[in-house]
Structure 1
Amino acid sequence: MMPDWFGGVDRYNQNLPAVNIREGETDFTLELAIPGQKKEDFNIEVDDNVLTISMEHKEEKQEDEKGYTRREFWYSNFKRAFTLPESVNEEAIEANYEDGILRFTLPKKEEALPKPKRLIEIGK
């Protein structure tokens, strides 16, 4: 089954982060551009071969100045899910958030790794 990399399983809003996906010999790398957040804002889970990434951030600010009161609040969220290739080892997925990039390393299962070339000798 082909992985559903293009758009994911769910699209809940129009403010979805940009995604880069790369396949290497031993793993996939998934990167989402989500600047200005804290790692505590993210919820990441894998269930039934689906990687779900969601984020919710709330901020409220109040200013009182010379008789004027201003309250501002900011709310941002998204939820995106990707059907993983069957070759991914779900138990070994790692995530890291640095410089506004949420990066996942999705290692391939041992049986999905390329096999080294083997020479076969011709018998009698």
Structure 2
Amino acid sequence: MVRASAPSTWMQGLEMPSRLFGDAGGTDYELYEEDDEFVLTIDMPGFETDEIELAWDDGVLNVAAEHVDDDRGRKKTYHRRFRFPKTVDDESISAAYTNGVLEVRLPTADATTRGKEIPLEGDS
């Protein structure tokens, strides 16, 4: 399990706020790998489903949300990027938002699709 307070090398450079401000806001997510998929859960209370945007781009998951409370004159935003070290089957990524918790499941692609056989030339 990878927690925000101890980012691994494959996430370096993407957690700018937690690096600049210590652990402030750095414990709002949990990321782990199980059964050939990554599971990312993020505590995001106060947002509606239609206020959350998820985008996948070349190994990086972008999570952004914005909520405007007109009655109180407040605006709440969330933005974080997560880089994944393995090939993810981007056609099978799924997400659900329930009771203030966003859960994103990112299945890893079959290892055979990550490379190709290289022919060997030479004398037998």
Structure 2 residues not aligned, in runs of 5+: 1-8, 113-124
RMSD across aligned positions (CA): 2.5
1:7, distance to aligned residue in structure 2 (A): 7.6
Q: Normalising by the residue count of structure 2, what TM-score does the alignment of the two structures yield?
A: 0.69
Please say if 1:78 is aligned against 2:78.
yes
Name 1:121's counterpart in structure 2: none
CA displacement 1:38-96 (0-9 Å, x = unmatched): 111111101121110001110112xxxxxxxxxx3111002100112223212211110
Name 1:3's counterpart in structure 2: 10
- Percent identity (aligned): 24
Q: Does the 8 Å CA contact 2:41/2:104 hold for their aligned counterparts?
A: yes
Regions of 4+ moved over 6 Å: none
Name 1:27's counterpart in structure 2: 37
- How many Å separate the matches in 1 of 2:37 and 2:43? 20
Q: Normalising by the residue count of structure 1, what TM-score does the alignment of the two structures yield?
A: 0.69
- How many Å separate the matches in 2 of 1:21 and 1:7? 17
Structure 1 residues not aligned, in runs of 5+: 62-71, 113-124
Q: Does the 8 Å CA contact 2:47/2:66 hold for their aligned counterparts?
A: no
Q: Which has the higher contact order (CA 8 A, sep 6+)?
A: 1
Greater fraction of residues in helix? 2
